[in-house]
Amino acid sequence: MNTPAAHAPMGHDAAPGWGEAALARVDRFSSLRIGVLGDLIADLYTYGRPVRLSREAPVMIVREEREELIPGGAANTIANLRDLGATVIPVGVVGDDAIGERLLGRLVEAGVDCRGIRVLDEYRTVAKTRLLAGDVHTVKQQVVRIDREPNRETTAAESAALVETLERFGGEVDAWIVSDYGYAAASPAAVDWVRSRSRRGGEGVPTVADSRYRLGDFHGFTVVTPNESEFCEAFGLDAPGEAELLEAGFACRDRLEGEALLVTRGNRGMMLLAQGSEPLEIPIHGSDDIVDVSGAGDTVASVLTLALAAGAGLPEACRLANVASGLTVMKRGAATITPDELRRELRR
């Protein structure tokens, strides 16, 4: 295994004074153009109040009070980047249906140029509907989630059209993110196109891959960012110890032949395995009393990519992403943060 730290324990993060440099990176976010290839998902939240038991079945009847649609999946990554001030070039698909129209409307309202998003006939937009119920003046709890998935595979012609869209809109960007949730957008040909733009020897741009099920397909990317459960599933690990996790991490990083592997670990922070460096453990930022982890991985990928595009090295970029994630998980739903929130936290 090609690493001097293969049998060494992880170093703990200790970088006093790095926040000033990070503030300068945040100031550059608004000048950056970031391409996003990925699966656009509509996160639907239906809020209601339980009123009585049903006579039809032993279930509670919940009276609907309101519903909201929040961009999810790659659409949440796009929303994160936009709220952080960057110009976003999205490439993906939605169906020619009401949910797809609403999702595109939310992105347009946020100031996103959606010309790279293709609307497909007879294709269902991916949606995840969460029913949350509770009495007045109480925190509503999630009762059930219903997933609405595409009713067909994308055709070869539709996949080829995605690559044409990448060629048309993706030439002048400062970095790329692939946000792969296992649906249509991250086809092998599209991933190959983004990979070909990955920086090597001073050429190309940073490329970051966040993939739920296909970790091994993203070789040659600058950084791959699985969470710990995704990583363990990919390697068939069941409750691994630190040494076993490290060994698998080194193997994965070397196999992918990128610059680094970043494993996010919930309330245990992050583990960065960069080529030619000791493994780095970055503790969780802020409270470990997490409100909601939904979309935290999208925030990590977004801020990591922006920081790399702004000139940060990997440890600094990961620390900044860690701070951003610590802010996001204290909000409900697939939330985003603003540059001012990030600046305040860095100064604090």
* Per-residue pLDDT tens over the stretch 234-268: 888 887 788 888 899 999 999 999 999 999 988 88
Do residues 33 and 301 make contact, with C-beta atoms less than 8 angstroms apart?
A: no
Looking at residue 269, what is its pLDDT?
A: 87
Q: Which of 192, 210, 298, 340 is catalytic?
A: 298
Q: Strands 117-120 and 87-95, how do they pair?
A: parallel
Give tens-digit pLDDT for 83-118.
999 999 999 999 999 999 999 999 999 999 999 999
Residue 27 pLDDT: 95
As a whole-number percent, the residues of the chain with pLDDT over 90 amount to: 69
φ and ψ of 89, to 5 deg: -115, 95
Q: What is the pTM of this model?
A: 0.89
More confident residue, 342 or 177: 177
5 pLDDT above the threshold of 70: no
For residue 17, the model assigns a pLDDT of 65
Angle at 298 (CA atoms; ends 294, 300), nearest 5 degrees: 110
CB 298 within 8 A of CB 38: no
In the block, which residue shows the tokens 């595109």? 104
Which helix (H) or strand (E) element contains residue 281? strand 280-282
In the prediction, which pLDDT does 327 show? 87
DSSP-derived 3-state class of residue 34: strand
Give the dihedral sign, CA 290/294/298/302: negative
Please state, as a whole number, how many other Cβ atoms lie within 10 Å of the Cβ of residue 86.
Answer: 26
Question: What is the H or E stretch that residue 109 is in?
Answer: helix 98-109
**Strand partners of residue 263:** 271
Average pLDDT over residues 45-53: 95
Element (H, E) at 191: helix 188-195
**Quick check: helix, strand or coil at residue 146?**
strand
Distance between CA atoms of 81 and 29, rounded to whole angstroms?
Answer: 9
**Residue 317, SS3?**
helix
**102, 336, 310, 107 alpha-carbon torsion, rounded to 10°:** 10
Q: What is the pLDDT of residue 6?
A: 42
pLDDT at 172 over 80: yes
Q: Is 182 helix (H, G, I), strand (E, B) or coil?
A: coil
Sheet with 126-133, side-by-side order of all strands: 60-73, 40-53, 126-133, 141-148
Average pLDDT over residues 10-34: 80
pLDDT reading at 33 higher than 60: yes
Cα–Cα distance for residue pair 270/225, rounded to 1 Å: 10
Residue 298 a catalytic site member? yes
pLDDT in tens, 259-297: 999 999 888 889 999 998 999 999 888 665 555 566 688
DSSP 211-266: ESS-GGG-TT-SEE--BHHHHHHHHT-SS--HHHHHHHHHHHHHHHTSSEEEEE-G
Q: How large is the average pLDDT for residues 175-197? A: 94
Cβ distance 35 to 176 under 8 Å?
yes
How far, in Å, CA of 61 to CA of 257, rounded? 53
Does pLDDT of 29 surpass 90?
Answer: yes
DSSP 314: H
Give the chain's mean pLDDT.
89
The dihedral through the CA atoms of 146, 151, 153, 156 has a sign that is negative
CATH number belonging to domain 11-41+72-125+151-347 = 3.40.1190.20
Query: Which residues lie below 8 Å from residue 62, measured CB to CB, with a gap of 6+?
Result: 48, 49, 50, 51, 131, 133, 143
C-alpha 35/C-alpha 38 separation (Å) is: 10
